[in-house]
Every structure is written in structure tokens, then in C-alpha cells.
Amino acid sequence: PAAVEFRSVSRHFGPSSAPVKAVDSVDLTIAEGAFFAMLGPSGSGKTTCLRLISGFESPTAGEICIFGENVSNTPPHLRNVNTVFQDYALFPHMNVRDNVAYGLMVKGMAKAQRYAKAEEMLALVHLDAYGSRKPGQLSGGQRQRVALARALVNEPKVLLLDEPLGALDLKLREAMQDELKSLQQRLGITFVFVTHDQHEALSMADSLAVFNDGKIAQIGTPAQIYAQPKTRFVADFVGSSNVLPPALTQNLGGPAKWSSLRPESLHLDPSGPLQGTVTSLRYLGSGHRVAITTQGQDIAAILPAGSPLPEPGAQIQLGFAPAALHIMDE
């Protein structure tokens, strides 16, 4: 069975006459052993979804199954699921070892045994030398790893991570992304990872759900979500795509529908169909981003480093391979 399954799950708050639809009729299947990401803007329902999986929140409609068992009415501690929170939620007065062993103590495990387990988990996250420190004596990244060890010590079948890297600076964040990914692969545990950062979701996940307003706008692999967004919302949110209105799509030889064109699929082409004035030119390090205005629409192109650059204000033409014009549903 799937690790997690939602069948028409809703979680509404407030009066039924004017509910806040935090999660609204969501269908979702997360395969066992997957690194699954939930991506969406703030307020789109990601945290509520995690809380529904962990059991801290109950659905107002629908059913939730974990490994085939309907857990809709099962309390959190009987679900075999653990959560790593963005703010880590460590106990400040306890040292690292006791923080990690806490869940095992609650379960009644003997001290020697739970300390051995805690040491094993600390080694897993490369903190074996830090067991006697207090959380306040650790860096942000180290605290994050303690929170991870504390969740993993319970041997959950599903690990939920709610924006776990949100408080880290970019460099540390990237290092932790690699570390989390390799940890998940070694342990084979199903990870459900919430983020509002599209790069993080695309680079880490085996598959992901894009949330918008309590609903799933699209589910797929990173490549599917990136290259074949179903809607304007997904195209916009998941990358700096050019979103073209139906009239322009038609002018480019497509149907009268919204379409998307990735900036990196555009190139300078003297006979290309997109002709316009260069309105901005920005150096990206790996190349240049050139924006033109054509038929009232701003279009961005990423030109690789070393290719000839137009001047701002110049008239240029951009072309693309026909398959790059991606037609969307709405």
C-alpha cells in the first residue's frame, strides 16, 4: 500500500456558513520510500496537510490512510509518524542526548538502551561529539540536525518535515539539502517535505504536489511540474516562466489557450517569431537574462554565457523549438 493516502480530504475552519478552506477535497497518494515535497505559497494549506497526516488535526471530510490503515480517528502517538518543525522545538534545558532520547524515555525504554539509540542517531547526523551540549550552545544547522535525530530515533515509517531549512542561511541550507536527501536514501523512510521554495522542492523531491488555496494544483515529478505545468499558477510559481495569453499563443501557431515558454528555451534568431525591444538586460553569472516587450507582453530569455548580447533598446527577434511552447489547461 501507499505510505500516505488522502481520499477527498478537507479541513475547514470557522463557521460552515463562511469556512476557511485550509485543505479542500485533496486526493493524494505518496509512495512508500518516496521523498515527497509539498510546495506552495504561504497559506496554501501545506502545514494543515502535514498536521492531518500526523494526527494533530482531524479532517472535516474524507479519509486518511497510512500504509493502508484508515487513521482518520487514530491519535498522533499511534500513527508511526514523526515531525521535524521549522523552529526545531528542542527542550532548551536538556542536553542534546536527552533531547534525542526523550521520545524513547516517554515510551519507557531503559536509560542505557535509549542513550545507545540516541548516540546512534547523533552519529547518523554527524553530531556524535555534541551529546552533552545544550541546544543554546549549537549553531542553527546543528540544532536542525538534533531535531532530525530526535524525530528519527522513534523509527517512524513516515517523517514529516515542515519547512525544516527555512531558518538557515543559503550555504548551510544547500549543505543540509544534500544531507537530508542522502539520509532519506540511506534510511529508505518516506519523507514528506514542506517548502515554499521551488528550487528546494524541484531539486530534492522524487515527486511533488503544488498547492494553491487548499487544493493541489498539480502532482508529478519535478521534470513534469517544471516542463509541463498544467496551469498558469503552476507555471508562475515553479519557475520564472513566460506565461502567454491565448491570443499570443495563437500568433505563435498554437491553439487559443494559455501557454508557457521557459526563458532558457528562447534564443536569438533573426527570423524568430517573437520580435520586440530589449527592456532589460541582467547578468546572472551563468548567463544573461534579456527581457523584451512584444505585443504588449514581457518575455524573458536566458542567453548562455558567451553568446552575443543585444543593447538595451535594440530591436531583436527570439526563436524557440516548436516543442518548447507548452499549452496549458487554464
Q: Is 45 among the residues that bind ligand ADP (CB under 6 A)?
A: yes
- Pick 102 or 211: Cβ nearer ligand ADP: 211
Among 10, 44, 82, 231, binds ligand ADP (CB under 6 A): 44
297-304 sheet: strands from edge to edge: 267-268, 315-319, 274-283, 287-294, 297-304
Q: Is 184 among the residues that bind Mg ion (CB under 5 A)?
A: no
Q: Distance (Å, rounded) from C-alpha 112 to C-alpha 117?
A: 9
Among 2, 19, 20, 257, binds ligand ADP (CB under 6 A): 20
Place of cell 534545558: 93
Q: Is 47 among the residues that bind Mg ion (CB under 5 A)?
A: yes
Nearest to 96 by CA among 71, 76, 115: 115
Among 13, 56, 91, 283, binds ligand ADP (CB under 6 A): 13
Q: Is 43 among the residues that bind ligand ADP (CB under 6 A)?
A: yes
Which residue lies nearest Mg ion, judged by its C-beta? 47
Termini Cα distance of the chain: 33
Stretch that binds ligand ADP, among 37-45, 79-87, 200-208, 234-242 (CB under 6 A): 37-45
Among 22, 71, 84, 238, binds ligand ADP (CB under 6 A): 22
Residues 51, 52, 58, 59, CA torsion sign: positive
Q: Is 59 among the residues that bind ligand ADP (CB under 6 A)?
A: no
Q: Is 46 among the residues that bind ligand ADP (CB under 6 A)?
A: yes
Q: Is 55 among the residues that bind ligand ADP (CB under 6 A)?
A: no
Contact partner, 271, from ligand ADP, Mg ion, none, Cβ < 5-8 Å per class: none
State the DSSP string of 290-318. EEEEETTEEEEEEEETTS--PPTT-EEEE
Q: Distance (Å, rounded) from C-alpha 295 to C-alpha 37?
A: 37
